Homo-oligomer: A and B are copies of this chain.
Amino acid sequence: MPDPLPPTHQTPDEFRAAGHAAVDWLADFLAGIADRPITPDVAPGDVRASLPAHAPEVGEPFEALLDDVDRLIAPALTHWQHPGFYGYFPGNSSPPSVLGDLISSGLGTQGMLWSTGPACTELETHVLDWLIDLCGLPDRFRSDGPGGGVIQDSASSATLCAILAARDRSGGAAALPSLRAYTSSQAHSSVEKGVRVAGFAVDQLRSIATDADHAMDPAALAAAIAADREAGLVPCIVVATVGTTSSGAVDPLSAIAEIASAAGAWLHVDAAWAGSAAVCPEHQHLLDGLDRADSYCFNPHKWLLTNFDCTAFYVADRGPLLDSLSILPEYLRNAASDAGEVIDYRDWQVPLGRRFRSLKLWFVLRSYGAEGLRAHIRHHVAAAAALADRIDAHPRLELAAPLSLALACLRHVDGDEATEALHAAVNATGEAFLTHTKLDDRYVLRVAVGGTWTTTEHVQRLGDLLEQLA
């Protein structure tokens, strides 16, 4: 008979010692992160070349692993938690979130069904209801009515689920060739990816024109829908964006909801980044009209101090979602599900299995409290506003779009070449990291303020760099 446990299996006491060492390494990493370059000096293949070609035959001590993280991995990462990271959108992490996730990993709960982890399911429902209050979201998304919330891995997956529910509500596979989807030309690429996954041809997604501020033009949407209906086609879903990726533009939800509703189309609202700002009452007007949406998502893993992955996805009516995503094989049947008294979140998402992700969100909401979360958002918004003022006042810089919350878009007045050179020069300092986009066919730098460790002083330093290097 083999050993009852593999010889290298760690005991609880060994876990305790290794865990303390891992926490200490992370604490030191966080304490020193501002002194690291944000992007690593590595070429493709460098990391692999530093690793052995095969897994070891015999287990290695934990110290060797931690040493290699320190020596080979951390120096070869782009540091999303660096206070000078302004690229893409923020990917927040925070101590309470990291530790909530640690406990989730240690509990090792798989929450596909209520019965496979009752607290896993109920805490998720509960904190998603908490977010409705915190963010002033419509009551129709609350779990005590026909709607409810679920944590998805990403806004991409939430948008896909909305598309699937809308598709199947509109007749499903049989009707698919006649269905049409609508989103603005500034919408996130996940909308196109989602409709493709769902079986639509690319030309079944209508790209709606935007206004001067890059927000969807409702008149253009109404015209596209009218033309399609005229042609006997079926408007299936409209995806509106609150806070577009390129410039943070906000589609006019009320006007869009009116048009979508009249056409019988599902309205999904993607506020992946901007949605976190709704913890502040002064920003909740961005969501005016959301009370007529069928579904909504935003990412606490972007700007609400919660580690990836954590997308809050809400539906006003869970019926169509469950109709699309439920399958009940015998091996998953159980008394609680059969009684219809519980939520089984496997029916609210594409995968079957799921982590206990609400734990980290619960830790964040309780550790910071509503006032801490509002302070987090407000200090970034204020810092970005101050930066935008400096850009506006500088003779060789200009804002490329209206400041949106904590996202400032800028360019060099001398044109794309100068903007690209400025981009390279800022990133080369290692102190700040920007990514780019194109707006009105011009190269634009994005400054997405929102890092967990980004202080007002860091943003001021970025302003100094931009002024000097322009």
A334 to B153, CA, bound (A): 24
A160 at the interface (CB under 8 A from B): yes
Which A92-127 residues have a C-beta within 8 angstroms of B? 92-103, 105-110, 114-120, 122-123, 125-127
Q: A4-B379, A44-B342, A73-B359 are in contact. List 13 more A-B contacts (CB 8 A).
A: A4-B455, A6-B372, A6-B373, A14-B95, A19-B20, A45-B122, A47-B119, A59-B367, A73-B107, A80-B116, A97-B105, A193-B350, A198-B199
| Chain A 53-70 interface residues, beta-carbon cutoff 8 Å to B | 54-60, 62, 64-65, 69
**Binary interface profile of A, 280-292, with partner B (CB < 8 Å = 1, else 0)?**
0000000000000
A223 contacts B by Cβ under 8 Å:
no
Q: Which 7 A-B pairs have the closest CB atoms?
A: A199-B199, A19-B23, A93-B108, A4-B455, A76-B119, A173-B201, A47-B122
> Which candidate, A28-36, A262-270, A390-398, is the interface stretch facing chain B?
A28-36
Name which of A29, A332, A351 has the most chain B CB atoms within 10 A of its CB.
Answer: A351
Query: Is A105 a contact of B101 with CB atoms below 8 Å?
Result: yes
**A131 nearest in chain B by CB position:** B55
A255 within 8 A of B: no
Which listed residue (B62, B204, B328) contacts A96, Cβ 8 A? B62
Query: Nearest-CB distance from A323 to chain B (Å)?
Result: 10
Q: Which residues of B contact A4 (CB under 8 A)?
A: 379, 455-457
Asked if A10 is an interface residue, CB under 8 A from chain B, the answer is yes
Q: How far is the CB of A163 from chain B (nearest CB, A)?
A: 10
- Please report which residues of chain A, range 150-182, place their CB below 8 angstroms from some CB of chain B when the two chains form the complex: 153-157, 160, 164, 167, 172-174, 176-177
Contact of A15 among B15, B23, B73, B190 (CB under 8 A): B23
Given A16-B23, A102-B102, A174-B201: A48 in contact with B107 (beta carbons within 8 A): no
Check A44 against B197 for contact (C-beta < 8 Å): no
Those of A337-382 within 8 Å (CB) of chain B:
341-342, 350-355, 359, 362-363, 365-373, 375-376, 378-379, 382
Within 8 A of B (CB), among A3-20: 3-10, 12-16, 18-20
Asked if A1 CB lies within 8 Å of chain B CBs, one says: yes
B331–A246 CB distance below 8 A: yes
Contact of A105 among B98, B106, B369 (CB under 8 A): B98
The distance from the CB of A432 to the nearest CB of chain B, in whole angstroms, is 16
Q: Which of A211-219, A235-243, A312-320, A434-442 contacts B (4 or more CB under 8 A)?
A: A434-442
Q: Contact check, A40 vs B118: say whether CB atoms are below 8 A apart.
A: yes
Nearest-CB residue, chain B, relative to A329: B189
Query: Are B173 and A331 in touch, CB under 8 angstroms?
Result: no
